[in-house]
Protein backbone atom coordinates (compact mmCIF):
# COMPACT_ATOMS: atom_id res chain seq x y z
CA UNK A 1 0.00 0.00 0.00
CA UNK A 2 1.67 3.19 -1.19
CA UNK A 3 -0.52 5.59 0.79
CA UNK A 4 -1.40 3.88 4.09
CA UNK A 5 -3.48 5.21 6.95
CA UNK A 6 -7.10 6.14 7.55
CA UNK A 7 -6.94 9.63 6.06
CA UNK A 8 -7.56 9.95 2.34
CA UNK A 9 -4.77 11.68 0.48
CA UNK A 10 -5.46 13.60 -2.72
CA UNK A 11 -3.48 13.56 -5.97
CA UNK A 12 -2.56 17.21 -5.41
CA UNK A 13 -1.17 16.42 -1.96
CA UNK A 14 0.88 13.54 -3.35
CA UNK A 15 2.24 15.74 -6.12
CA UNK A 16 3.19 18.52 -3.67
CA UNK A 17 4.95 16.15 -1.28
CA UNK A 18 6.75 14.38 -4.12
CA UNK A 19 7.96 17.72 -5.46
CA UNK A 20 9.25 18.67 -1.99
CA UNK A 21 11.11 15.34 -1.83
CA UNK A 22 12.59 15.94 -5.27
CA UNK A 23 13.85 19.36 -4.24
CA UNK A 24 15.67 17.77 -1.32
CA UNK A 25 17.04 14.90 -3.42
CA UNK A 26 14.91 12.16 -1.87
CA UNK A 27 13.98 9.65 -4.53
CA UNK A 28 10.44 8.21 -4.29
CA UNK A 29 10.72 4.56 -5.34
CA UNK A 30 11.28 3.12 -1.84
CA UNK A 31 8.90 5.45 -0.01
CA UNK A 32 5.27 5.55 1.05
CA UNK A 33 3.25 8.57 2.20
CA UNK A 34 0.94 8.53 5.20
CA UNK A 35 -1.43 11.39 5.95
CA UNK A 36 -2.01 11.85 9.67
CA UNK A 37 -4.78 13.81 11.38
CA UNK A 38 -4.15 15.20 14.86
CA UNK A 39 -5.86 17.93 16.88
CA UNK A 40 -7.89 19.04 13.86
CA UNK A 41 -4.86 19.43 11.62
CA UNK A 42 -2.89 17.28 9.20
CA UNK A 43 0.71 16.29 8.73
CA UNK A 44 2.43 13.89 6.34
CA UNK A 45 4.93 11.15 7.02
CA UNK A 46 7.20 9.86 4.27
CA UNK A 47 8.03 6.26 5.16
CA UNK A 48 11.40 5.32 3.67
CA UNK A 49 12.37 1.66 3.39
CA UNK A 50 15.65 0.85 5.13
CA UNK A 51 17.19 -1.42 7.73
CA UNK A 52 18.42 1.50 9.77
CA UNK A 53 16.04 3.65 11.76
CA UNK A 54 17.22 7.23 12.18
CA UNK A 55 15.71 10.23 13.91
CA UNK A 56 12.58 11.45 12.15
CA UNK A 57 13.35 14.69 10.35
CA UNK A 58 11.18 17.42 8.92
CA UNK A 59 11.31 18.55 5.31
CA UNK A 60 11.07 22.26 4.60
CA UNK A 61 8.45 23.11 2.01
CA UNK A 62 7.28 26.39 0.52
CA UNK A 63 4.40 24.64 -1.26
CA UNK A 64 2.78 22.64 1.55
CA UNK A 65 1.10 24.29 4.52
CA UNK A 66 1.18 21.09 6.58
CA UNK A 67 4.37 19.63 8.05
CA UNK A 68 6.19 16.83 6.20
CA UNK A 69 8.38 14.34 8.04
CA UNK A 70 10.68 11.57 6.81
CA UNK A 71 10.76 8.39 8.88
CA UNK A 72 13.27 5.67 7.98
CA UNK A 73 13.06 1.99 8.86
CA UNK A 74 10.04 1.03 6.79
CA UNK A 75 10.16 -2.74 6.05
CA UNK A 76 13.24 -2.94 8.29
CA UNK A 77 12.69 -6.56 9.34
CA UNK A 78 12.29 -7.83 5.79
CA UNK A 79 15.24 -5.84 4.46
CA UNK A 80 17.46 -7.10 7.29
CA UNK A 81 16.78 -10.68 6.20
CA UNK A 82 17.45 -9.79 2.56
CA UNK A 83 20.79 -8.15 3.44
CA UNK A 84 21.85 -11.21 5.44
CA UNK A 85 21.18 -13.46 2.45
CA UNK A 86 22.96 -11.08 0.09
CA UNK A 87 26.07 -11.15 2.28
CA UNK A 88 26.07 -14.91 1.96
CA UNK A 89 25.52 -14.65 -1.81
CA UNK A 90 28.52 -12.33 -2.14
CA UNK A 91 30.75 -15.22 -1.09
CA UNK A 92 29.74 -17.03 -4.27
CA UNK A 93 29.98 -14.10 -6.73
CA UNK A 94 31.78 -14.90 -9.96
CA UNK A 95 33.79 -11.68 -10.18
CA UNK A 96 34.56 -8.31 -8.58
CA UNK A 97 31.76 -6.56 -10.47
CA UNK A 98 29.14 -8.90 -9.04
CA UNK A 99 30.56 -8.44 -5.54
CA UNK A 100 30.37 -4.67 -5.98
CA UNK A 101 26.75 -4.86 -7.16
CA UNK A 102 25.78 -6.95 -4.14
CA UNK A 103 27.64 -4.64 -1.74
CA UNK A 104 25.78 -1.64 -3.15
CA UNK A 105 22.47 -3.49 -2.85
CA UNK A 106 23.20 -4.06 0.81
CA UNK A 107 24.31 -0.48 1.46
CA UNK A 108 21.21 0.90 -0.26
CA UNK A 109 18.81 -1.39 1.59
CA UNK A 110 20.48 -0.62 4.91
CA UNK A 111 20.43 3.16 4.52
CA UNK A 112 17.53 3.73 2.10
CA UNK A 113 19.85 5.68 -0.21
CA UNK A 114 18.67 5.15 -3.79
CA UNK A 115 21.67 6.95 -5.30
CA UNK A 116 23.71 4.01 -4.01
CA UNK A 117 21.21 1.68 -5.63
CA UNK A 118 21.64 3.49 -8.95
CA UNK A 119 25.37 2.93 -8.65
CA UNK A 120 24.68 -0.80 -8.30
CA UNK A 121 22.74 -0.73 -11.55
CA UNK A 122 25.50 1.12 -13.40
CA UNK A 123 27.84 -1.71 -12.40
CA UNK A 124 25.21 -4.39 -13.10
CA UNK A 125 24.92 -3.49 -16.79
CA UNK A 126 28.68 -3.94 -17.26
CA UNK A 127 28.58 -7.58 -16.10
CA UNK A 128 28.13 -9.16 -19.52
CA UNK A 129 26.67 -12.63 -20.03
CA UNK A 130 26.72 -13.78 -16.40
CA UNK A 131 26.00 -17.44 -15.72
CA UNK A 132 23.67 -16.40 -12.88
CA UNK A 133 21.62 -13.24 -13.39
CA UNK A 134 19.89 -11.28 -10.61
CA UNK A 135 17.98 -8.12 -9.87
CA UNK A 136 16.80 -6.90 -6.47
CA UNK A 137 15.21 -3.67 -5.35
CA UNK A 138 12.26 -1.32 -5.46
CA UNK A 139 11.79 -1.39 -9.23
CA UNK A 140 8.16 -2.29 -10.02
CA UNK A 141 6.25 1.00 -10.06
CA UNK A 142 3.39 0.11 -12.41
CA UNK A 143 0.80 -0.42 -9.64
CA UNK A 144 1.29 3.01 -8.10
CA UNK A 145 -1.34 5.34 -9.63
CA UNK A 146 1.41 7.93 -10.02
CA UNK A 147 3.91 5.44 -11.41
CA UNK A 148 6.78 6.51 -9.14
CA UNK A 149 6.57 4.43 -5.94
CA UNK A 150 7.67 0.87 -6.38
CA UNK A 151 7.24 -2.63 -5.07
CA UNK A 152 10.26 -4.73 -4.20
CA UNK A 153 11.30 -7.33 -6.75
CA UNK A 154 13.78 -10.14 -6.29
CA UNK A 155 14.79 -12.30 -9.23
CA UNK A 156 17.51 -14.88 -9.73
CA UNK A 157 17.93 -16.60 -13.09
CA UNK A 158 20.34 -19.12 -14.58
CA UNK A 159 21.33 -18.78 -18.21
CA UNK A 160 20.60 -21.61 -20.63
CA UNK A 161 23.65 -22.00 -22.91
CA UNK A 162 21.84 -24.09 -25.53
CA UNK A 163 18.96 -21.66 -25.93
CA UNK A 164 21.45 -18.78 -25.96
CA UNK A 165 23.25 -20.42 -28.92
CA UNK A 166 19.95 -20.60 -30.81
CA UNK A 167 19.24 -16.93 -30.15
CA UNK A 168 22.78 -16.08 -31.26
CA UNK A 169 22.02 -17.75 -34.59
CA UNK A 170 18.97 -15.53 -35.02
CA UNK A 171 21.07 -12.45 -34.32
CA UNK A 172 23.72 -13.68 -36.75
CA UNK A 173 21.12 -13.70 -39.54
CA UNK A 174 19.41 -10.48 -38.45
CA UNK A 175 20.11 -8.71 -41.76
CA UNK A 176 18.11 -11.37 -43.59
CA UNK A 177 15.12 -10.98 -41.26
CA UNK A 178 15.25 -7.17 -41.39
CA UNK A 179 15.02 -7.24 -45.19
CA UNK A 180 11.77 -9.22 -44.86
CA UNK A 181 10.05 -6.59 -42.69
CA UNK A 182 7.09 -4.86 -44.42
CA UNK A 183 8.84 -1.50 -44.64
CA UNK A 184 11.99 -3.05 -46.11
CA UNK A 185 10.50 -5.36 -48.77
CA UNK A 186 11.64 -4.16 -52.17
CA UNK A 187 13.95 -1.51 -50.74
CA UNK A 188 17.23 -0.87 -52.51
CA UNK A 189 18.75 1.69 -50.14
CA UNK A 190 20.72 0.78 -47.02
CA UNK A 191 21.76 -2.61 -48.38
CA UNK A 192 18.13 -3.62 -48.83
CA UNK A 193 17.07 -2.79 -45.28
CA UNK A 194 15.22 0.42 -46.09
CA UNK A 195 15.66 3.87 -44.64
CA UNK A 196 14.12 3.07 -41.23
CA UNK A 197 16.93 0.74 -40.17
CA UNK A 198 20.51 1.47 -39.11
CA UNK A 199 23.14 0.60 -41.67
CA UNK A 200 24.97 -1.46 -39.07
CA UNK A 201 22.97 -3.74 -36.79
CA UNK A 202 24.52 -3.81 -33.31
CA UNK A 203 23.51 -7.02 -31.55
CA UNK A 204 22.81 -6.66 -27.81
CA UNK A 205 24.47 -8.68 -25.11
CA UNK A 206 21.87 -11.28 -24.20
CA UNK A 207 21.30 -14.70 -22.74
CA UNK A 208 18.30 -16.96 -22.47
CA UNK A 209 17.53 -17.24 -18.76
CA UNK A 210 15.20 -19.23 -16.53
CA UNK A 211 14.29 -17.34 -13.39
CA UNK A 212 12.75 -17.91 -10.01
Per residue in 112-122, pLDDT (tens digit) is 999 999 999 99
All structural domains of the chain, each given as residue ranges with its CATH number in brackets, are: 11-74 (3.30.70.2600), 76-158 (3.30.540.30), 162-211 (no CATH)
Specify the pLDDT at position 206. Answer: 60
Per residue in 34-90, pLDDT (tens digit) is 999 988 899 999 999 999 999 999 999 888 889 999 999 999 999 999 999 999 999
CB 104 within 8 A of CB 120: yes
Chain-centre distance of CA 6, in angstroms?
29
CA gap 74, 96 in Å, rounded: 30
Q: CB under 8 Å, gap of 24 or more: what pairs does 86-89 form?
A: 86/136
| Residue that wins the pLDDT comparison between 162 and 13 | 13
Per residue in 138-157, pLDDT (tens digit) is 999 999 988 899 999 998 88
Specify the pLDDT at position 90. Answer: 95
Per residue in 177-196, pLDDT (tens digit) is 888 888 888 888 887 878 77
* 200 Cβ contact partners less than 8 Å away, ≥ 6 residues apart: none
For 81-95, 102-116, 154-168, which range has the lowest pLDDT when averaged over its residues?
154-168
Q: What percent of the chain has pLDDT over 70?
A: 94
Give the Å distances, CA to CA, from 28 to 49, 166, 181, 200, 203: 10, 40, 41, 39, 34
Amino acid sequence: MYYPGRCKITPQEIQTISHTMEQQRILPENTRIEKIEKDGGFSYQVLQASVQTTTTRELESTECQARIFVKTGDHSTELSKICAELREAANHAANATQRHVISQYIKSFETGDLEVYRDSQRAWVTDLSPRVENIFGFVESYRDPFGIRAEFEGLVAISDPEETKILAKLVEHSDTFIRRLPWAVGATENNGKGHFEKSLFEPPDFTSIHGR
